[in-house]
Amino acid sequence: MAVERPRQLELRVNPIACDAHGLCMELLPELISADLWGYPIIRSGPVPLRLQALARRAVADCPTLALLLTERQ
Amino acid sequence: MTAPGATTAWAGQPPAPGELRLITGDQPLSLAEHIERYGPAPLAGPGATALITEVDHAGLTGRGGGAFPAARKMRAVADASLRRGKVRSGTGSVVVANGSESEPASSKDEVLLSHAPHLVLDGITLSAAAVGADQAYLCLSPRNPAMARAVAAAVAERDQAGFSEPPVTLISTPDGYLSGQETALISALNGSHPLPTFIPPRPAERGVQRRPTLVQNVETLAHIALIARFGATWFREVGTAGAPGSALVTVTGCVARPGVREIPLGTPLGEVLRRSGALSGAQAVLTGGYFGTWLPLPAAWQVPVSEESMRAAGAALGPGVLAVLPGSACGLAETARVLGFLADNSARQCGPCRNGMPALADAMKQIAFGRPGHDVVGWIGQLSGLITSRGACHLPDGGAALARTALDVFAADLRAHLASGPCDRAYRPAALPIPTGRA
Amino acid sequence: MGSGVTGAGHVGAIIVTSSTPLWYATRATGLVALVLLTISMMLGLLSSVRFQRPEWPRFVTLGLHRNVTLLALGFTVMHVLTTVLDSFVSIPLADAFVPFISSYRPIWIGLGAIAFDLMIALVVTSLLRTRLGLRSWRLVHWSAYLCWPVAVLHGLGTGTDTPVRWVLALTACCVLAVAVLTIWRLALTWPDRPLAAVAGVVVLVLVLIAGGAWLRTGPLAPGWSHRSGTHSSQPGAAGRP
């Protein structure tokens, strides 16, 4: 039984696509907070393992598909 | 890599240290004169990746403002091109020579293209061969029709002489401060709005017509043309170890002899300004352009002109603009006007910049001209933090850096303004010209 | 099985019905599907207007919208299956997907097929949203504005329960709810052009009035079953031709 090494994932936002709908910060308040105008500020660093499922959901739920989950370089 | 010997004394000989490399006279060089001066370009055919290694050893960085290592860009495009399989017609990579020069205070690209278009065109041909490009675009500023005609004539000369691989399409970059930005230019070439796009995908992966695209400033390409002839060691004969080679700078403002100069990188700022006849009483210099930074004068006299040295001093060289501010001007007022210009010319695509830049400009205007709100300096700091690194391009970053350095360099004026309102100098005509309307 | 059909002259008409459980199931699942689809539309519209309260975050609207739509699709599938399996009237499975080929009330069953097809497209594209990209997904999702009214019309035109008071009231409530939220949505679509919003609302009201007029002269008027293409031996056929 192979043990899968957990992938290092990082959250990024496409600032052009983002329209400050605010779903991502509702789902992931640990990692995403709102600035003065409602746009997301994403905490830097890899997404903790326990939050990865929620992060995937936030990416899928973003009304403009502006939130991205990428492999950490 | 020197060219074979020719009849005239300095034909094909590498320029000596101390000699100008890029602009050698007042008149534009014709193709024949160009070949006489520099020797023929060592064209080696497609897949000539040895050039990339040479450029790498030379340590050439982009001269458009980003200072990104040129060889790394070329290698990325060459690799992407290889990954797409053999170069077939219409599917190879693309070279975009960026002479848009949308920064109002800069004119080095204009001067270079007017005087040495063949160097730039050589650079295009050579880098196209190195990255597997079968198409090239040369994007020109729309501000100078005479220069555009000179470039067109140079292209025609080359066509007649048989140097037409790859075909170079001349493009007039659309008006707009951001139109010359790398992804914005590619977007325009793809028929879309000339506004920055989100990365990924990087231009090296997918750019014009979804093909790997090499975007280089025209001055960078001119240097590549010289490195191909004379080698990396020659290139490093001037400049410093960390910033090799020469560069074009545009010196404007209160100097007796404003204009474009070629300088060895690492030359102290004071010497560059002195050569241009910096008038006494100059209080500061704006480096890098309108989204650049302030340095105090004469305190920054010793700062070497190079991207790395300027960054160490909290400034940025960018596309090499050095705008000198006279003592008779109010630095805060000038900054407020420039910030207003930047805010007006934002692409308005990204929330933080669309909201934050006008707020930043307003706050600076309050300090400069009106009644600043409570803790306006703290407010400016907060705004700067909110807009930096949160847009698709670096316009907000530049605005934030401009504001920060202004409050630093003009600290005495700041205290005076906050204590007793705008100074008299604030109401004088602008020392830094702001293009009217949406430039 | 069905009760007898009387000839002309008999006082009052007796509607031919099948009393199989499947016939009841078809009508019931159809109504439930309509209500669920209405709720889904409402939640979708709430999402468009960015409705949000401290106790009602946006992801709740979105999550409910997704789940209610899936439930609506499930009930629609049951509605289709019970109709097809009901041997009293021949409605093969193809009629549920290909519009207007049915021999029973072709136009109105056809509208049901259109709504069903659109629902499938909406659900499938939404499940594959991240792979499809925003533009394609959005293009298909606009068809929700077509799917729901078509489903309502299908229910009113095909449904033999349309004249029943509470069914009519239920349908009216659904239409009203979606209409109100659509007006809210329209008002926010063109924040700087109030005239466009007013025009949109006027069009909506006209559509509702037209719908009401059709209802009165169509399904609620006598003889509808014949005019809609019901043969005398099929459900909903009136005693009088």
Summarised one tens digit per residue, pLDDT across range C107-155 is 888 999 999 999 999 999 999 998 998 999 999 999 999 999 999 999 9
Which H or E run includes B98? Answer: strand B93-99
Per DSSP (E only), the strands in B265-375 are 284-287, 293-296, 321-325
- Reading the block at residue A52, the tokens are 């990865």
CB contact under 8 A, A26 and C134: no
| Least Cα separation, residue C201 to chain A (angstroms) | 25
Residues in chain C within 8 Å Cβ distance of A67: none
Task: Kindly list the residues from chain C whose CB atom is less than 8 angstroms away from the CB atom of residue A64.
Answer: 134
Residue C72, CB half-sphere, CA atoms under 13 Å: how many?
Answer: 26
As for how many domains chain A has, the answer is 1
Tokens matching residue C181? 């939220």
The answer, yes or no, to whether residue C159 has pLDDT greater than 80, is no
Q: Is residue A19 part of a domain?
A: yes
Both tokens assigned to B191: 């028929």
Position A59 in a domain: yes
Closest Cα in chain A to B201: A14
pLDDT bracket for residue C163 (50, 70, 90): confident
Enumerate residues 175 to 204 of chain B having a beta carbon within 8 A of any beta carbon in chain A: 196-198
Q: Strand pairing partners for B136?
A: B95, B168
**Inter-chain CB pairs, A–B, below 8 Å:** 37
Rounded to the nearest angstrom, the minimum Cα separation between A15 and chain C is 15
Domain contains A13? yes
**CA dihedral in degrees (C226, C227, C230, C236; nearest 10)?**
-60
Nearest alpha-carbon partner for B289 in B96, B97, B434, B99: B434
Q: Which of B196, B197, B352 sits opposite A39 (nearest CB)?
A: B352
Residue B424's pLDDT is what? 87
A1 touches chain B (CB under 8 A): no
Q: Do B355 and A37 touch (CB under 8 A)?
A: yes
Inter-chain contact B352–A14, Cβ cutoff 8 Å? no
- Mention every residue, 6+ apart, whose C-beta is less than 8 A from residue B166: B95, B124, B125, B128, B133, B134, B135, B136
Interface of B with A in 327-356 (CB under 8 A): 349-353, 355-356
Query: C-alpha distances in angstroms, A32 versus A38, B281, C180, C217, C224?
Result: 11, 49, 34, 56, 58
Q: The tokens 């300004």 sit on which residue?
A: B273
Q: Nearest CA of chain C to the CA of A23: how many Å?
A: 6
Residue A56: give the domain boundaries: 9-71
Taking residue B233's Cβ as centre, other Cβ atoms within 10 Å add up to 13
Are residues A60 and C129, on separate chains, in Cβ contact within 8 Å? yes
What count of CB pairs under 8 Å joins A to C? 24
Residues of A in contact with C52 (CB under 8 A): 22
Is A23–C133 a contact, with Cβ atoms under 8 angstroms apart? Answer: no
pLDDT per residue as tens, chain B (439 positions): 333 333 333 467 888 888 888 887 777 888 888 888 888 888 765 556 789 999 999 999 999 998 999 999 999 999 998 887 655 545 689 999 999 999 999 999 999 999 999 999 999 999 999 998 989 999 999 999 999 999 999 999 999 988 878 899 999 999 999 999 999 999 999 999 999 999 989 999 999 999 999 999 999 999 999 999 999 999 999 999 999 999 999 999 989 999 999 999 999 999 999 999 988 889 999 999 888 999 999 899 999 999 999 999 999 999 999 999 999 999 999 999 999 999 999 999 999 999 999 999 999 999 999 888 789 999 999 999 999 999 999 999 999 999 999 999 999 999 999 988 899 888 888 888 777 644 3
Chain B 391-420, residues with CB within 8 Å of chain A CB atoms: 391-392
CB contact under 8 A, A26 and C57: yes
The pair of three-digit structure tokens given for residue C205, joined into one six-digit string: 């009201």
Q: What is the dihedral of CA C146, C149, C153, C155, to 10 degrees?
A: 110
Chain A hits for B197, Cβ within 8 Å? 16
- Cis geometry, peptide bond prior to residue B166 (ω within 30 degrees of 0): yes
The per-residue b/e assignment along B15-26, b for 16 or more CB within 10 angstroms, e otherwise, is beeeeebbbbee
A10 lies within 8 A of chain C by CB: no
- Strand bridging mode B284-287 / B246-253: unpaired
Domains of chain B from N-terminus onward: 31-172+211-235 (3.40.50.11540), 246-325 (3.10.20.600), 331-427 (1.20.1440.230)
Per-residue pLDDT, C9: 44
Exposed (0-12), middle (13-18) or buried (19+): which is B46, by Cβ within 10 Å? middle
Chains that touch C (3 or more CB pairs under 8 A): A
B431 DSSP β-pair partners: none
Tell me which long-range contacts B86-89 makes (C-beta under 8 A, separation of at least 24): B87/B46, B87/B132, B87/B134, B89/B134
Of the candidates C47, C62, C130, which has its C-beta nearest A65's C-beta?
Answer: C130
Q: Which residues in chain A are closer than 8 Å to B353, comparing Cβ atoms?
A: 15
> Nearest Cβ partner of B198 from A16, A37, A39?
A16
- Examine residue A4 and state whether it is found in any structural domain, yes or no: no
Task: Considering only the beta carbons, identify the residue of B197, B353, B386 that sits closest to A36.
Answer: B386
**CB contact set of B243 (below 8 Å; sequence gap of 6+):** B61, B265, B266, B304, B306, B307, B308, B309
**Residue A40 parent element (H or E):** strand A40-42
Please judge whether A19 and B351 are an interchain contact, meaning their C-beta atoms are less than 8 angstroms apart: yes
B390 token code pair: 């949160």
Check B390 against A15: CB less than 8 A apart.
Answer: yes
User: Measured between beta carbons, which residues in chain B are less than 8 angstroms from residue A35?
Assistant: 352, 386, 390
Contacts of A14 in chain B (CB under 8 A): 198, 392
Given a contact cutoff of 8 angstroms between Cβ atoms, the answer to whether C5 and C14 are in contact is yes
Token pair for residue C193? 């052009």
Contacts of B355 in chain A (CB under 8 A): 36-37, 39
Instruction: Tell whether B385 lies on the interface with A, counting CB pairs under 8 A.
Output: no
Q: Do C58 and A60 touch (CB under 8 A)?
A: no
Q: Which residues of A touch C47 (CB under 8 A)?
A: 63
Please give the average per-residue pLDDT across A62-66, as a whole number.
95
Whether residue B236 contacts residue B17, with contact meaning beta carbons closer than 8 Å, is answered with no
Instruction: Provide ipTM, 2 decimals.
Output: 0.90
